[in-house]
Amino acid sequence: MLLRPLLLLCALAACQPAPPPPVARPPDPELTLTKKVLEAGVCETRMRLTFNLKNRRSDTLRVAKWEADVLLNDAPAIKQEKTLELKLYSQDEATFDVPLTIDRGCNNASSQPAKSADGTLPTDRVRVKGQIFAIAGEDLIFEFEDSFELQSPKTPELSAELRGQKYDFGRVDMYLVLTLSNPNGFAVLVDGVTYKLKLGGEIVAQGEVMSSERVRDNSKSRVEVPVNLQQKSTVSQELFRKGKIDFAVEASISLAGASQPYSKSGTFSF
């Protein structure tokens, strides 16, 4: 008698439908990040972050906002956010840019990081950690994180040359041409270039040029400094009479307080 209820319960249990399989979670968007340095001094770097977002879901994804914390050497640096309003159908892709300016902590002498023997700042580590807010029938949040190293720019190369023209009645016009060549793949901000020009052992020009000069990536910036020679000066008369004179240029390029000297000497002739 006791077996009948047990058999009935077993039969009823066998008749129950199996539980439905768990619903698969839609895949997160595929996100890739590329970085490009646009302009750099040693103290500040201006960049562009380019995000490529692909909707791998089967439904439409509306991307509303992007926000991120930027950490410099693991210390919070800045917080960025950008309103997007992107509509991505299934398997669609979209690209958006986010400008980023990183202050590398050398606005004053007390906060400057220690410099290496060659006068440049050490490499900094940047980490971008944030979220993308989207809607696909419900509110969605996708997290991302990326890191990269920020190199100090190479100091532009400095060169100098003399140009001149001799006229009648002892008049001589001369120019000191200073050229900066930027070897970096991004623009560089130069604090300034100091110079001193000697002709025949006598200082005839000195000063500073190219203050806060922006030198474009892989290009040159040039300035012509007029050399004011008095018509009856010893230097002017020697140059006019002989058509040549010994010269010496001493200069220095400054990048965030680190200076790189330059010198050149020889004989100038018309």
pLDDT computed for residue 231 by the predictor:
64
Nearest Cα to 102, choosing from 51, 38, 145?
38
pLDDT computed for residue 28 by the predictor:
79
DSSP characters over 59-118: S-EEEEEEEEEEEETTEEEEEEEEEEEEEE-TT-EEEEEEEEEEE-S-SSGGGPPPP-TT
pLDDT computed for residue 110 by the predictor:
38
**pTM for the predicted model, two decimal places:** 0.67
Give the dihedral sign, CA 215/210/103/115: positive
**Other C-beta atoms lying within 10 Å of the C-beta of residue 108:** 7
Domains of the chain in sequence order:
26-150 (2.60.40.10), 157-269 (2.60.40.1820)
pLDDT computed for residue 13 by the predictor:
53
pLDDT computed for residue 206 by the predictor:
92
Q: Is residue 231 classed as helix, strand or coil in its secondary structure?
A: coil
Listed in sequence order, the residues at least 6 apart from 62 whose beta carbon sits closer than 8 Å to its beta carbon are: 85, 86, 87, 88, 134, 135, 136
pLDDT computed for residue 119 by the predictor:
42
Amino acid at 134: A
Q: Report residues of the chain scoring pLDDT below 50.
A: 1-9, 107-120
Distance CA 199, CA 203 (A): 6
pLDDT computed for residue 247 by the predictor:
92
pLDDT computed for residue 164 by the predictor:
82
pLDDT computed for residue 92 by the predictor:
93
State the pairing for strand pair 93-103/157-166: unpaired
Are residues 172 and 233 in contact, defined by beta-carbon separation less than 8 angstroms?
no
**Other C-beta atoms lying within 10 Å of the C-beta of residue 51:** 20
Distance CA 167, CA 145 (A): 67
* Cβ-count burial 124-147 (b if 16+ within 10 Å, e if not): bebbbebebbbebeeebebebebe
pLDDT computed for residue 1 by the predictor:
45
pLDDT computed for residue 184 by the predictor:
87
